[in-house]
A and B are shown apart, each in its own frame.
Chain A
């Protein structure tokens, strides 16, 4: 079931009155049943995966609480990881690994092909497995208490507002909220509704209106002018932002009405002045998950581990083998040799090298989390690369700007533009991952833009889409620049006139500018 469907409207109209008319265990049971119904509407067979994952992590959690033996504890944690990552491996990555392996063998002259399976990717699997794993890991490290109530735990894993596309909410943030007995609150309803309407505006009006233009650009980049393609990638950057943050807003708003508080998942990411900041503003629940459960365990900015070396070596090897580029192999070897030499200079140098390695591993795996394709991995690589370059060249760049006395406002504008445009460059690979020839499409797209061929507005096709797209982006940016996005829910709660007028405006805009096809959310595929 998707939020922008009639089925969901009916579902929520039945669910909400029931939810607030029940109390305690009965309400919790309704929540769980509703969540399973919500998921099962799409495919009830795959409910078994959620139930199995829930059972494993619930019992692993219970055993971890009483187990003192460190080896057994480790084995229990490993069981949870193997099951959760195993599901991901089979359902999301199996065919990808087989196809990559076949491609690699074919590169070496092998003629046959290995069998792939006809597997449907269960919606939201990457989200709920990460949420579930975070619980087990936190219990293992004794950061949180174990949840003994199965219904409560199962509801935490499958809570329908954020089940299929996040935000990934940590057990430490979510489970304690189940202990409060909650009543219907008008303030929560109004604030939640405000956030839901804003989310719908972003999804239905902005993201879905931009989608046809973007699809057209990526279907055949060679057939369009450079300006057309440039507009296409600008549109995609806002399409994916509005699609995903719109979903998050709806999810957070729904949870708010039901009495739960979820943290923000996006904070105006395209106004970031550097790449580290971007990742504290974009998909915050995933980036903080990766930071806490991957980057820091790898050593973070303090040092390295076997994992740092292993993953870097693995990705380098795969890159060389998959491309078959000898020069890349030599470059990787040279980089590894230089890293060895550099890290031996001092502890500080060693920390720096490990920091870069951990950063790159985190971004590469973050890319792979998004999708089973090398273009997603390359997208992650670009973001890792940007962050390393920023750390290397950032201080020099800032000094240079200071030396030539560039005003702060201009410095900020340049920084925002730089981060935004390089993020767009990475988005080209991310979006091209959906096309049959991902890298070819992305490279053709980029080359066509930089060629500046027919760089004039006359060469742009479907100008009506362009005008509407920029109008919607303008409205969005206006709200984001004025910071209204963050204060909106508070004003909505306290000022009924503002509430009525702003809700009405959003409803008019959705009605007048929304796209009402059955457009699913982009992040469902992840």
Chain B
């Protein structure tokens, strides 16, 4: 029996260590200035809510705040799928006064992203919506997060949370300018297909209904692409039509607004200068007012 003693000891130590580690990491997360921590800590009160994936991160907040004199909150994340975005929006509406405007880049509706969804495991203690989504969509990850609290923090989302321990991410921007290689390659782009699924329409509809119920003005947008790339997308128009039919909200298309490669860091992302120019256009068009 003495030889077996190490096994329960190991299980006990692993469990206790996991819980202590999980608790410590939770404290770390709560001290961060990262956007989702601010969302759940009640520090995200805003008049304009910005939603998207990495292409939504180009909603450069300092510039929007300068031209509109309104507070903004950006819940975008690289590769953010619409189902996670919807839960974050719902959480936002549950915790705060409804924003005046919600800007959503619909090109985020191009994927489901289970690995990223698993990254939001760390926010399940604060969000019933996220917990239900994760348990429903990726039960293995969901239950693993309940079994091991350390596992909840095993994600890039947590690493970003660490990166923003002492600084806010509100002024994040992309300064890079597209390199010559990409400009040259753009001449030979193959047709690009956005993998839009009708499931995403349901999520957009739910967001639209929520905004309508709360009196928030909702704008569906297509943020700028590098024009040769925008032209290579073979189903953008049909996606816009589907969204209009499903939600009764027209999609405002800015995909070809910016022509010069100097405004882009790559085919799908504007840099700071490009973002400013785009946001100025939104202001001119009355979308940002």
Contact surface of A with B, Cβ cutoff 8 Å = 186, 190, 222-223, 459, 464-465, 467-468, 496, 499-501, 503-504, 507-508, 511-514, 516-517
State A516–B119 Cα separation when bound (angstroms).
12
Closest to B78 in A: A462
CB–CB B154/A508 < 8 A: no
Set A467, A500, A516, A517: member contacting B159, Cβ < 8 A: A467
Contacts of A459 in B (CB 8 A): 176
State A499–B18 Cα separation when bound (angstroms).
17
State A166–B176 Cα separation when bound (angstroms).
46
Contact with A along B198-211 (1 / 0, CB 8 A): 00000000000000
Set B14, B144, B154, B182: member contacting A504, Cβ < 8 A: B14
Closest to B10 in A: A500
Contacts of B141 in A (CB 8 A): 516
CB–CB B159/A511 < 8 A: no
- B103 CB, min distance to chain A CBs, angstroms: 25
Contacts of A511 in B (CB 8 A): 18, 148, 150-151, 154
Contacts of B156 in A (CB 8 A): 464-465
State A222–B178 Cα separation when bound (angstroms).
12
9 residue pairs, one from A and one from B, having the closest CB atoms: A464-B159, A512-B150, A222-B181, A511-B150, A504-B13, A511-B148, A504-B14, A511-B151, A496-B6
Contacts of A499 in B (CB 8 A): 6, 10
CB–CB B14/A186 < 8 A: no
- Residues of chain B at interface, number, CB under 8 A: 28
B213 adjacent to chain A (CB < 8 Å): no
- B58 CB, min distance to chain A CBs, angstroms: 16
Contact surface of B with A, Cβ cutoff 8 Å = 3, 5-6, 9-10, 13-14, 17-18, 21, 115, 141, 144, 148, 150-151, 153-154, 156, 159-160, 163, 176, 179, 181-182, 185, 266
Interface centre among B21, B115, B150 (most CB of A within 10 A): B150
State A501–B17 Cα separation when bound (angstroms).
10
- A184 CB, min distance to chain B CBs, angstroms: 11
Set B3, B150, B154, B266: member contacting A186, Cβ < 8 A: B3
CB–CB B115/A517 < 8 A: yes
Contacts of B160 in A (CB 8 A): 464
Contacts of A508 in B (CB 8 A): 14, 17-18, 21, 150
Contacts of A223 in B (CB 8 A): 179, 181-182, 266
CB–CB B150/A504 < 8 A: no
CB–CB B151/A222 < 8 A: no
Contacts of B5 in A (CB 8 A): 496
- A113 CB, min distance to chain B CBs, angstroms: 23
Could you show 14 A-B contacts with beta carbons less than 8 Å apart?
A190-B6, A222-B185, A223-B182, A464-B156, A467-B159, A499-B6, A500-B6, A503-B10, A504-B14, A508-B17, A508-B18, A511-B150, A512-B150, A516-B144
CB–CB A500/B151 < 8 A: no
Contacts of B3 in A (CB 8 A): 186
CB–CB B154/A514 < 8 A: yes
Closest to A502 in B: B10
Closest to B149 in A: A511
State A512–B19 Cα separation when bound (angstroms).
12
Given contacts A223-B181, A508-B21, A517-B115, contact A464 B10 (CB under 8 A): no
State A141–B158 Cα separation when bound (angstroms).
60
CB–CB B151/A512 < 8 A: yes
CB–CB B154/A513 < 8 A: yes
